[in-house]
C-alpha cells in the first residue's frame, strides 16, 4: 500500500536490508545519505530567498525562533545553541521551541507533536514581534504542533521560513518562504532521523551560517566573532588573528588580551595601529562588521 507522504512510503531499493552483510549494510546506509545532499542543493534558491528576507529583520534586532518536534525539534535546538559559541550571537536572540519542552531534547515525549494548541501557546510564550523570524521544521510537513506555532507566528507578523521533506504539505503552504527538502522514502521505512534529518541539518547550517556571514560575523572566511570559552578556542582565536594580520603569536595573544578576547577587535587594532578601545569604537560605528571597519576611511 502506498502512503501519501514520501517520507512514510516503503523504500523499494532494499527489501532485504536485514540480510545484508555489515559492510554492505553500511554502504547502503551511507549511499542513501547522498540523497540528502542532493535535496539540499536543489533547495538552494529557496534558502537564498529566505536569507534575503530574514536579514533585514535581524538587522533591526529581531530574533531567530525555531519550532520542531522530535528529530526536527532537536536539530533546531542544536542550530540555535551553536550560534553563540560560533558567532557570539546572543542566546536571547536564538530561541528554540520543541514539542514536549526541554525534556523532549533527550527523550521522546509521546503525543506532544500532535497538540496544535500547545504549539500555538509555545510560540506566543516566546513573545514574538514582527522583527522576529521563525524557522519551522517538520519532515512530514504536517506536524500539528509545528503548524500551531506557525499559525501563532503569522498572527504576530513574524516572518516564517518552513522546512519540510514532503511536497505540497501544510507547512510549506503556511510558510512565507517554503523550503522543500525532497528526500523521498527512507532506507529504513519512516525513519526520518536518517536522510530527511540530514537534509534538515544541512539546510539549517547553511541558512543560519549565511545569515551570520551577511550580518558581519565573518571576515573573509574567518570566524572572527567566536567566543573563546576554552583552551581550544583560545588557540583558534590567536591563529585567526595571526592569519588576518600576519603578526606573530605573542602579538596575537597580547592584542586579544587587550581586546578582552574579541577576535575582530584585535584584528582591527593590529591592522590599523589602534588601541583596543579605538578599534571597538570603529567596529561599533560599522555595526560590528570587521571588513567595513577596516575599509572605512
Active site residues: 82, 113
Sequence-separated (6 or more) residues with CB below 8 Å from residue 226: 85, 86, 87, 88, 233, 236, 237, 240, 263
Cell numbers at residue 179, please? 523550503
Question: 173 vs 201, 230, 249, CA distance in Å?
Answer: 21, 44, 53
* Exposure letters 280-294 (e unless 16+ CB within 10 A, then b): bebbeebebbbeebb
Q: What angle separates helix 195-214 from helix 44-59, to the nearest 10 degrees?
A: 40
Say how many Å lie between the first and final Cα of the chain, rounded: 68
63: exposed, middle or buried (Cβ count in 10 Å: 0-12, 13-18, 19+): buried
CA angle 122, 212, 139 (to 5 degrees): 45
* Strand partners for 65: 95, 134
Asked whether the beta carbons of 36 and 30 are under 8 A apart, the reply is no
For residue 143, give the DSSP letter. Answer: -
Task: With H, G, I as helix, E, B as strand and everything else as coil, classify residue 222.
Answer: strand
CA angle 276, 281, 283 (to 5 degrees): 95
Phi, psi of 275 (to 5 degrees): -75, 165
Amino acid at each position: 500500500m502506498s502512503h501519501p507522504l514520501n517520507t512514510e512510503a516503503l523504500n523499494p531499493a532494499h527489501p532485504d536490508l536485514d540480510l545484508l552483510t555489515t559492510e554492505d549494510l553500511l554502504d547502503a546506509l551511507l549511499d542513501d545519505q547522498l540523497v540528502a545532499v542532493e535535496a539540499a542543493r536543489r533547495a538552494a534558491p529557496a534558502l537564498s530567498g529566505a536569507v534575503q528576507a530574514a536579514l533585514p529583520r535581524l538587522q533591526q534586532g529581531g530574533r531567530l525562533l525555531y519550532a520542531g518536534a522530535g528529530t526536527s525539534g532537536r536539530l533546531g535546538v542544536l542550530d540555535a545553541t551553536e550560534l553563540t559559541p560560533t558567532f557570539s550571537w546572543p542566546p536571547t536572540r536564538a530561541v528554540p521551541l520543541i514539542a514536549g519542552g526541554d525534556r523532549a531534547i533527550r527523550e521522546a515525549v509521546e503525543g506532544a507533536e500532535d497538540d496544535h494548541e500547545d504549539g500555538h501557546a509555545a510560540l506566543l510564550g516566546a513573545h514574538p514581534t514582527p522583527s522576529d523570524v521563525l524557522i519551522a521544521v517538520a519532515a512530514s510537513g504536517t506536524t500539528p504542533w509545528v503548524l500551531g506555532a506557525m499559525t501563532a507566528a503569522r498572527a504576530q507578523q513574524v516572518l516564517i521560513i518552513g522546512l519540510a521533506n514532503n511536497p505540497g504539505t501544510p507547512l510549506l503552504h503556511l510558510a512565507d518562504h517554503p523550503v522543500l527538502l525532497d528526500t523521498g522514502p527512507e532506507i529504513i521505512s519512516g525513519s526520518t532521523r536518517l536522510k530527511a534529518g540530514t537534509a534538515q541539518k544541512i539546510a539549517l547550517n547553511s541558512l543560519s551560517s549565511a545569515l551570520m556571514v551577511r550580518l558581519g560575523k565573518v571576515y573573509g572566511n574567518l570566524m572572527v566573532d567566536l567566543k573563546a570559552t576554552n583552551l581550544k578556542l583560545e588557540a583558534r582565536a590567536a591563529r585567526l588573528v595571526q592569519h588576518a594580520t600576519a603578526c606573530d603569536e605573542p602579538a596575537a595573544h597580547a592584542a586579544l588580551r587587550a581586546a578582552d578576547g574579541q577576535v575582530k577587535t584585535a584584528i582591527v587594532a593590529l591592522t590599523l595601529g589602534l588601541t583596543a578601545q579605538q578599534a571597538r569604537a570603529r567596529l561599533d560605528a560599522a555595526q560590528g562588521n570587521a571588513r567595513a571597519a577596516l575599509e572605512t576611511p
